[in-house]
Structure 1
Amino acid sequence: MKKITLSILLVTVSFFLEAQSYIGFLSDNYSGVHGVISNPANIVDSRFKTDINLAGVSVFGSNDYYGINLLDATKDGYSFDLEAKTSPSEDNRAAVNVDALGPAFMFNLSKNSSIALFTRARSFVNINKINGSSIAALDDDTTDDFIVTENDINALGHAWAEVGLAYARVFTSNEQHFLKGGLSLKYLQGMGSVYVVGENVTIDYNDDEIDLGGGIITGSITSNGNLTYARYAEFDNDDYDYKKPDKSNGFSADFGVVYEWRPNYDDYITDDPNLNGFKHKNKYKLKIGLSITDIGFVDYKNGIKEGFNIRKSNVNQNQFESEPDFGAALDRFYELTNADTGYKIDLPTALHLNADWSFNSKLYLNLNTDFSLISKDRITANRISNVVSLTPRYESKWFSFYMPLSVIESNGFRMGAGLRAGPLYLGSGSVISGFTSNNNREADVYGGLKIPVYQGVPKDKDEDGIIDKLDDCPKEPGPVENNGCPWGDTDEDGLLDNVDDCPEEGGTIENKGCPWGDKDGDLILDNVDACPYLPGTEENNGCPYKDTDGDGVYDKDDVCINEVGTVANNGCPEDVIEKLQKTLNDYAKVILFNYGKASIKEESNEVLSEIIEVLNEYPNATFTVEGHTDSIGSYGLNKKLSDARANAVKNFLVKNGIDSSRLIAIGYGERRPIATNMYKDGRAKNRRVEINLIKK
């Protein structure tokens, strides 16, 4: 008796209904006719001419009592009773869902409308308010006796078939804003239902209490509480041989809308309505869908609903189990308090919010929320669990891959994976977490086959943006205005004659096909001549150079811009040049170096600063920095030392603000003495640095 009760409870408690079938796959723009499951608006403006589903099934399962590691569970010697983690509470809940999409197809009625016909079989089991201590008592292998104590437990099992028709159309396509909507109407055929509601139920089972004589004993069942037991009329007949219920049908509806934000709408529009060549592409940056599904119920008109008071002691287990079915056992041993015919089972009505972000044509991120609109306490209704899923995916025409990350009501986080490869789709919303978590309480899997017929890519052999069937010159690129044929280019300037203001003269696009003029005759075209009415030079952007003092030396070369000078003196008067040179020579004589080195002594910094002030007074002048030595030492060494000293001075000047282009450093070594090297004084005069004005 204990094992039978435990098996019944485990079959029902092992699974917790998930919120959405085909996790991950339904986020794919290439899911096709499956789109009607979550939002009927999905079937219009799709990537398919038609999509035919052959068969597909999605099975979900999880629970909030037992937790396992699926990888460990596959190993030899794994003990479910000993190694599974348990999470008992006074309100453990459970359910199971199988969702099979049978033959189904969708096709386009027009550019802006589509329909889908589909068949679907579904089954739900919901069990609520299970006391975890009852499961623990049934799972105790140390004794066959057990006590089950429940307050307000209820359980519902329901299976039905659907035949549906969905219609969707585009409401508006206004530049970057796109809106479509859809509606599904479904005929429902009930395939069976049963529900049990218990109030303050206790069951005390003693395995060997009743002596039947001859050494044979059996268990006794003592129970208390009230029980409502409802089922379709054919449920318990003929040793559980299945018969389809009579008079058990109903109708339901789904409806939804989808908004798309298309910031790059210019890439997908044309003035010619016949040039609709973008059906094969996703055009949105952001897509948001909102839908409500499964609004309706199945009416079991011949269903049986009975209430029992199950207060009774020492019911013979042998006699209880000899009854043909559970209903017959209730009728025999317990008091019937009420009976009725007919009941309705509500479908798992739910709200779905979906947002899909496109990073590019291949990579997407999907956020999906499924929220039950059915109360947890509603006894005659199936219910989904609330869930939020975040699914990154790679998507292309023939292949997609997804990795859904979900948080489920009462069950926490899970991670899965799925793929679509042409006609095949398969996946799971929990396969990764199932093999990595030691407390996994959910499992699901789906798979199926379909025949996809994708939207074709219009042929455009010349790639001019006009599809071949509308192109008068399909092998030559041309504009829409000329029906796809190229305009002529008489002057061969790269600008078509229809927009060339000078079709007989070669010109530029910037000047509308006409050549640029040269008004001042300086051989610099007006479009690049900063002074188109004054002849100038190319170096000065077509403008003439200034000569402020009128001495024939342009300001750019004139060291003395405001004083009349000569060309030989760089635009300066002779006395100015002589004064400048003398000043520099006087300063240069006191630039001192460390003996035998190119490093400048610190006491020379002050005179170098004064040299900088002089150079800044003549910003257009250029100078040589010349290094000289005496004849002591080898010629090569002296040459190298003089060059290093000249560059040391130049580097100091540049570092302190003098433009390096104004300075030329050169070392002459011992070649240019100004005194005899025979004596000490003469050699001292020869060890020098000179700064000289370069005359042009």
Structure 2
Amino acid sequence: MKHLNKLFAGALLLAGLSANAQDSTNPWAISFGVNAVDTKISMKGNDHLRFEELYNPRGNFNIVPSVSYVNVARNVGGNFSFGLTGSFNKISKWVEHVPGTENTHVVVNPGDLNYYGIDGAISYSFKDLIKSKWFDPSLNLGGGYTFFGDASAGTVNGGWGLNLWFAKNVALSLGSTLKYGFDDNRVPDMDVPTHIFHHAGLKFQFGAKDTDGDGIIDKEDACPDVPGLEQFQGCPDTDLDGIQDSADACPNDFGTVEMNGCPDQDGDTVADKDDACIDVPGLPVLGGCPDADGDGVADKDDACPTIKGEKANKGCPWPDTDGDKVLDKDDKCPTVAGTVANNGCPEVSEDTMKKLNDYAKTILFDTGKSSFQKQTLPVLEAMAAILKEYPTAKFALEGHTDSDGKDATNLQLSKDRAAAVKNYLIEKGIASDRLTSEGYGETKPVASNKTKAGKAQNRRVEVKLVK
């Protein structure tokens, strides 16, 4: 039975003595410190434990004044951790129960027995349940193998632990574990008695992954692959303007919150990246450029930056070359003064038409022909000059004859003479689309064809304004 119990306890060795609990963020922990072995627990008969003065270090504790235990543990999921503890001590206080008495014990020196233990446990932490960041109680259950001098045996272990986290990954670690031995007797160097293993030390958590090496573990790092700052949960602020890169419109240039992380060198509320005039305060609607004359055209694009003008004219006012109060852009006769009603062109008056027709009446043709007599050329020149004063006006030239000769011949002659006048005027610079010509022969006399004077009046060219 005794050996079977030892085998059972040895199987529990893999669980590890651990009063410490890790989390998945920092899965590993190491603890070290001092331990105290209390042998006051004794047997009453073979099946009952006796607990008296469990925490009386003056009478019962065996303590070595040096680091006397080391624990390594790892989180195995949730609030559970798994670890191993190695310990040593010197047993100079061995508590014996006086046979035949109920509560009488004596403390003897068994000969400074060397104490060694290797133990394992599964530990459960209550830290998350009580929602505390620093107070971390736990319970543990496991087994181990212990040496008391020349004696050694397996034990079944159970106990409590308490971590007091005074820094992010550092805690004061306290705990007690009952190590239940299966020996029926309590003979030094021959038996391993049931006893309590107390410990006090420091615990350090580690093992958290920090892929980008910025000192912020991946689990708490919003940008685990890029080195960043703690204030931004591990995300970078390349230009150090207090705005993390993901929210910074200009991550490489120091800027302001108002400019969404971008600089505004000229202070015109237009970020430099969008400012076409980065060194001069301007208007947002003009891409950050100034508009000195307020005409809506940026100075850099304004041909007349100090004179208010029109966008369509590069920021300059439209000219009125002929001074007729019709701007050149709307003036169909920009170099000739006209009227607003006639789109800036002069209107042909009745006096002008009378003057044209007075000239036309004096046009002389060679007899029976459409060629001009030499003395007529100045008259045609004068007519051309008048027409040039009205560059948009259109005119109809009408040819007429007297009744001498055949009707068909007279009709054709009148057409040819009217066309001759038109062609001459075109040669003198009058646009062809402004002139038309037609002949009416002898059909529209203005005087009697029975007299020489009347026939002379009927042989004529008339000028009419086309409206």
Could you say which structure has the larger radius of gyration?
A: 2
- Shorter-chain TM-score above 0.5: no
Q: Which has the higher strand share?
A: 1
